[in-house]
Amino acid sequence: MGDQPCAFHIELADLSSHCDSGYRYLPPGSTDASCANWLEAETYDQVLRAHEEVIVKVRVRIPKSFNQSSARACLLVTSKPEKESVKRGPRFKIELRYAVNVLYRNPMVPPVVAMEAKALAVGEDNSVWTLRYQNAGNVDRIISSRAHLLNNRGQVVYQTESLHAKGLIPNQCRTVQFKKPDLPAGDYQMVVVSQTDAGEKFGVTHSLKL
């Protein structure tokens, strides 16, 4: 979409996630859940003229013998200017790299859905609560959450939706945020009920003092 010709290069990679370090991109075929060898792009290198757009089709071949609950891989796309700028003065040669994740859910294998709450804390600006989840299951899910706050008499005094839905692949951690209400000091019980995009529900409770 820029004013100069731009080249791009696509390469296949495996995708894994760790709670503390986030995404890791690995050589294709190096993880047990890899589907990198299922993917074939119609082109891996191309040069685009200024303002030119192109659609790159990717063929996915799912083996009939595949019997796991899910698989994943990614397409790493690197783009850079085809020619250096002729403008005078300091110049930066910038390469842009991003990943397109490919996640497959096997409809023939029942998934194991296990979302574990890791920690509940107040955000740095004291305006939100943050609840950290880890996907300890074997399939990716998108979750949305609703928080209920109960006083010491068991009455619901506040409820709110999470600010954003979150997608999690296996072993990944995500932080769900809720707006923090202005309530009297005291002991409260927070009940968070979450639902995945496939309809599974799970919950967590946490005692807190305001």
Task: Round to whole Å and give the CA distance between 107 and 103.
Answer: 13
- My answer on whether 119 and 68 are in the same domain is no
Task: Please count the other Cβ atoms lying within 10 Å of the Cβ belonging to residue 174.
Answer: 21
Is there a domain that residue 110 lies in?
A: no
- My answer on whether 189 and 131 are in the same domain is yes
- Residue 26's domain comprises 6-105
Q: What is the pLDDT of residues 129-173, one digit of tens each?
A: 888 888 888 888 898 889 899 998 999 999 988 878 888 888 888
Q: Which two tokens stand for residue 60?
A: 């996915």
Last residue of a domain, one of 44, 77, 105: 105
Cα angle 163, 166, 170; round to 5: 155
- My answer on whether 93 and 160 are in the same domain is no
Is there a domain that residue 31 lies in?
A: yes
- My answer on whether 99 and 123 are in the same domain is no
- My answer on whether 89 and 124 are in the same domain is no
pLDDT at 74: 95
Residue with tokens 């979302």: 115
Residue-wise burial string across 40-62, b where 16 or more C-beta atoms lie within 10 A, e elsewhere: eeeeeeeebeeeeeeeeeeeeee
- My answer on whether 83 and 23 are in the same domain is yes
* Coil/strand/helix, residue 38: helix
Is there a domain that residue 1 lies in?
A: no
- My answer on whether 58 and 127 are in the same domain is no
- My answer on whether 96 and 179 are in the same domain is no
- My answer on whether 88 and 165 are in the same domain is no
Residue spans of the chain under pLDDT 70: 1-2, 83-93, 122-126
pLDDT at 88: 60
Last residue of a domain, one of 105, 133, 167: 105
- The gap from C-alpha 206 to its chain's centroid, in whole angstroms, comes to 25
What residues form DSSP beta bridges with 132? 119, 175
- My answer on whether 128 and 90 are in the same domain is no
Task: Round to whole Å and give the CA distance between 146 and 156.
Answer: 13
Task: Give me the number of domains the chain comprises.
Answer: 2
pLDDT at 29: 94
pLDDT at 91: 60
Is there a domain that residue 26 lies in?
A: yes
Last residue of a domain, one of 50, 85, 105: 105
pLDDT at 164: 80
Task: Round to whole Å and give the CA distance between 94 and 103.
Answer: 29
pLDDT at 133: 84
pLDDT at 43: 94
User: Is residue 35 within 8 Å of 71, Cβ to Cβ?
Assistant: yes
Q: What is the pLDDT of residues 31-45, one digit of tens each?
A: 999 999 999 999 999
CATH number of the domain at 149, please: 2.60.40.10
Task: Round to whole Å and give the CA distance between 2 and 11.
Answer: 23
Is there a domain that residue 152 lies in?
A: yes
Is there a domain that residue 157 lies in?
A: yes
